[in-house]
Amino acid sequence: MTSGHANAVDLSGRIAVVTGASRGAGRGIARVLGEAGATVYVTGRSSRTGGNPTGRPGTIETTAEEVTARGGTGIPVRCDHTDDAQVTALFERVRAERGRLDVLVCNAWGGYEREVLPTPLPELDLAHLDLMYSAGLRAYLLTLQRAAPLLTDTRGGLAVVTSWVVDAQRYTGNIYYDVLKTAVNRLGRGLAAELAPAGVTPVIVSPGWMNTEVMELPPELAAKTESTEFVGRAVAALAADPEVSRHAGAVRTVVELAAEYGFTDVDGSSTSPTWEHIAATGGATDPDWFGA
């Protein structure tokens, strides 16, 4: 291992694909997997050579270089996960070059290209729903479908889908987001039925409120956030667990996994005000507090 921190695990020799990894949670996950020694295919649309459709900071090349700098092997692959041919080509390349896939992280979510706010139904823009579906739920299903043969051939691997915990008894205030995140969380059940018999463990993993590159928060709000590497440490812990199959089909928060596996965020904390708030309110994802 190249890292000396207490959260380090050894994933040397493992092959991973992390989607939507030019920034945000995907970048944090890719970095941590690299630190654990994995080879990481870093995918996304933002590239130094292929353009940046969002205009936001970060590229797949930058993340891949960070993976390598931390001790792994980073491989940037420009891929639009709404495009069937590009996603198919991605996993054909992984099979041709590595012959296996141990960790898949479905993280690309186009719905965040626009701000998600509590909004009355009549005022919602259907174009935002289209983004959340085509570059969110559909992109997840397409990626999982195309990756499934390689994952099942490899056996013993992990398929993580990043999401957000939506309490069935509460309402987030944005019906598009509420319904589509609920659908993503439901993926765990179906994926467990489809993939677990072949030795692949699907897990839905929910981070809290993350302080990403595009956020410019005052200190009092930044203190309420998690780093993007907290969820990365959750994925690495799952990937290193020889008995990870017990999580098949489950929805797990990063804080729950931190308590189980004993890892912390980069600042040494093992929880966050986001999840402390949710626990105190019986699972409410209160948009007024969450976006405060």
For the chain, the distance separating the N- and C-terminal CA atoms, rounded to the nearest angstrom, is: 40
Question: Residue 24 is which amino acid?
Answer: G
Q: Rounded to whole angstroms, what are the CA distances from 118 to 114, 130, 133, 147, 292?
A: 13, 17, 18, 34, 12
User: Which of these is catalytic: 41, 112, 176, 177?
Assistant: 177
227 touches 208 (CB < 8 A) = no
The position carrying tokens 């990756």 is 147
* 112 catalytic residue (yes or no): no
Q: Rounded to whole angstroms, what are the CA distances from 187 to 25, 62, 111?
A: 19, 31, 18
Q: Rounded to whole angstroms, what are the CA distances from 131 to 96, 174, 182, 230?
A: 32, 14, 16, 26
- Positions annotated as catalytic residues are 177
